[in-house]
Every structure is written in C-alpha cells, then in structure tokens.
Amino acid sequence: MSTSGAKKLWGGRFSGETDPLMEAFNESIHFDRRMFAADIRGSQAYAKALCRQGILTADEQQALDSGLSAVLAEWQAGKFEIRSGDEDIHTANERRLGEIVGAVAGKLHTGRSRNDQVATDMRLWLRDEVEALLGFMRELVGALVERAQRDVDVLMPGYTHLQRAQPIRWSHFLLSYAFWFQQDAQRLEQFLPRLNQLPLGSGALAGNPFQVDREWLAQELGFSSVAPNSLYGTSDRDFVAEFLFHGSLTMIHISRLAEDLIIYSTAEFGFVQLADAYSTGSSLMPQKKNPDSLELLRGKSGRVFGDMTGFMMTYKGLPSTYNKDMQEDKEPMFDAVDTLTGSLQITTAVIATLKINADKMKQCLTGDMLATDLAEYLVRKGVPFRQTHHISGAAVKMAEDRGCQISDLSVSDLKTLHEAFEDDVLLVWNFEKSVDNRSSIGGTSRVTVQAQIDHLKQWLN
C-alpha cells in the first residue's frame, strides 16, 4: 500500500509503507502516459481474447470495452486526471476503468502481466510512429528530387577533403542525400516486421495459463507474427535498440547535409542562402544571418546518438526476462521519435525554400579542376593513365609557376610535356563537357542525373 492508500497492482505481498521518494523514483506516468491509446487498444483486444476463452462473459467484455473507450475519450479530450498511486500508464488506465465499470475491471488483468503489457504497448506505439516517420522521409526525398529536377543545369565545384576537385551538377549533390534518405526509409521498412511481433500472452515470463489465442490477438492488433518464446517476449527490447540505431543513422545524414549547407552558406562560398524562416540574427551584429536551423539539426544528431548509447549501456547487462532497468527504455525511444519527427520536417522545409546562387557556383569553377580531364584526354590518345596523371600534374605545375590557369597554357606549351597533345586539347577546357563525360551509371552527366531523378520518382510513387 502506498502512502496515499491507493492499491498497487503488485501490493498484496507488502504491508509496509513505500518511501515517498522511492514512490516518485519508481513512477513513470509522467513520460509513459503518451502510450495511453496503445495501452487501451491492447486491453480491449485482451478482453475479447478472455471472452473467447470463457473467462469473461459477453456482457463483461462489452462493459470493459465501453469503459476503456470512455477512458480513451478522457485522454483525448485532455480531461484524464492522474492521481497519486498512478505509477504508470497501465495502473492509471486500470484504476480509472474500475471507477467507471466497477469490480469487473479486476478481471481484465487475468493471465496478463505488466511485463507483456508494456512490451505490447511499446511495439504498438512505435509501429504507428515509424509509419509516420516513413512519410516524413519520403517527403524529404521528394523535396530533394524536386530541387534536383528544377536546378539540373546548375554546375558547381565538387569537393574532396574540402578542396575543389571536379565539376559536378548541383543536382548531383542533392541526389546523393536523397539516396541516403531513401536507404534510411528502406531500413525502417525492413525493420517493421521485427517490430511487428506480438508479446501479449507471454504473461510475466512463463506464458498464459488460460490458453488465450495469441494468433487471434496478433490479427486483432495488426501484428504480423507472435513472439515465439515467452521469456523472449517479455525481455526483448532489441526493437528499441534497432530503432535508435536507424534513427541515429538518419540523423547523421541530416547532420552531414546540414554541415555542407552551413559551409555553402558562408560569405566565403556564397552558394546558398537560407530562407528567413529558418535563420536568425545576432543579438550584437546586425549584419548577421545565422543558419540556426542547420546548426540545430547538426546538434540534434548527437542527441539521438546519445539516446542510443545510453539505452545500450542499460540493456547490455540485464539478466533474462523483465527487470526494472527496462523502465529506461521508453524515454530514449520517445525522445528519438520526437527529434526525428521535427528534424525531418525542418530539413524538408529548408531544402524546399533554399535559394541558390548559380552564378557564384559557376565562378568557383577553375581550370585546375579539369586537370583530370587533361589526363583523360591523353588516355584517349593511347597513353597509359599512370603516365597521363604525371603529365597532367606537370601541366598544373607549369601553370602555377607562370601564375596562370592550366587552361591558359598553349598547345605548344603542352607539347613540351608530351607529343600526343594536339589542337583538339583545347576542347578539354569546357566544364559542361567535363560533367557530361561522367555518363556511366551514377555519374554527374545530365543524362545520368536525370536517370537518378527518375529512379527516385518511381520509388516515391
């Protein structure tokens, strides 16, 4: 019995009072209350399963169903009153159900434990959230594809080691992230069957003694399979760990995109400008336009990764079946869902409203970025690539020594490096041609970029 006098679901064994500090330390209602709908849905299905086994009469099952619907309506209307002794969402719902329907509420828990109940609630809740997240991921991919289609003619420097490397299409850059987010969505889709496994009917650990039809329960609750072992069913939180990993990886991709756009938005680059809605100013310097949305996205990736690592440290050393440490499984899951939900939507909005400076991108294309094209020119003349790489490097050095661009070198200059150079070498100094030469699958040519766009559009549709 608690200090408030309210009955605990587990209180029959105990005669002493609970330390009020321990009672507060033990309760989880302040965060697991958000699973109210999942908990009620699972209870309504379980009542039907008990009725099918003759544990409840049809009238009792109907009374429980109606009472649980009334509890749900109170939650949805914001009128549910949490009271002292409501240590978790299961206790709160059952207490309120008893106030509405009377003693028959005490039959609902027959053969059921909070161990299999909470595992079921979490899977039901997360399943709905994953479906919503998949929708947000598809919207983000759609925004990237739409921008890639719109800006397909814009060229920009491509970078390795943050050094200008080769010319690419701006669309090609955007699509690289679209494919990452497509992979994130596909991983979540592949995760769903493992998430969508029913623990209910496992009891506390040993199974259900009233032969409830677990396959019927799974069908009633939309689960695709039944946890095949009751110890596993109550103890498994791999689905939380896997979701947190997938969420962390998605946030890493968001963070990397944010980092690129932060760099490209600086005055030194000037490639992109964020919409005012996703920027802030400085409290001291009136000229500043800070990419706060992108910085927050970059920061929140660490938050979700922290959710994962914190949970894994809790999970790693637990003995079998349920342990109270598992109360620490919900807040990281809730936090990751909330952070992902907001981050995906903000990222989509940033991409959709982003302004690009195509002229500045073009101005940053310099002749030395075609040094590889010069080497490839010689390859087409029959010179081995290892030699052409060295020759092209010598041309870069010659231009540097003269204080000019490599494209300013004459045919005569180049002939001093190799006799294979001819007048047609001047055709190398064309950024559009360079880009469109990269025409094998996945390349940055117009044709291959369009193929990537079409591929993603087909996936989206």
CB 438 within 8 A of CB 444: yes
- Cα–Cα separations (whole angstroms), residue 280 to 163, 179, 259, 283, 301: 29, 30, 17, 9, 20
Task: Quickly list H helices, 316-445.
Answer: 330-353, 358-363, 371-380, 385-402, 411-415, 431-437
The answer to whether residues 36 and 50 touch, using CB atoms and an 8 Å cutoff, is no
Q: Is 389 a catalytic residue?
A: no
- Which one of 15, 161, 283, 412 is the catalytic residue? 161
Q: Specify whether 279 is catalytic.
A: no
Give me the catalytic one of 225, 282, 320, 410: 282
In whole angstroms, give the CA distance from residue 420 to residue 417: 9
Residues 299-305: contacts with CB under 8 Å, at least 24 apart: 300/251, 300/339, 300/342, 300/343, 301/248, 301/251, 301/252, 301/254, 301/255, 303/335, 303/339, 304/244, 304/247, 304/248, 304/251, 304/335, 304/336, 304/339, 304/340, 305/248, 305/251, 305/252
Strand partners, 272: 356
What CA–CA distance (Å, rounded) separates 426 from 184? 44
Q: For residues 90 and 260, give the distance between their C-alpha atoms in angstroms, rounded to a whole number.
A: 46
Distances (CA, A) of 220 to 86, 214, 248: 28, 10, 32
Return d(Cα 328, Cα 334) in angstroms, integer.
Answer: 11
Which positions are catalytic? 161, 282
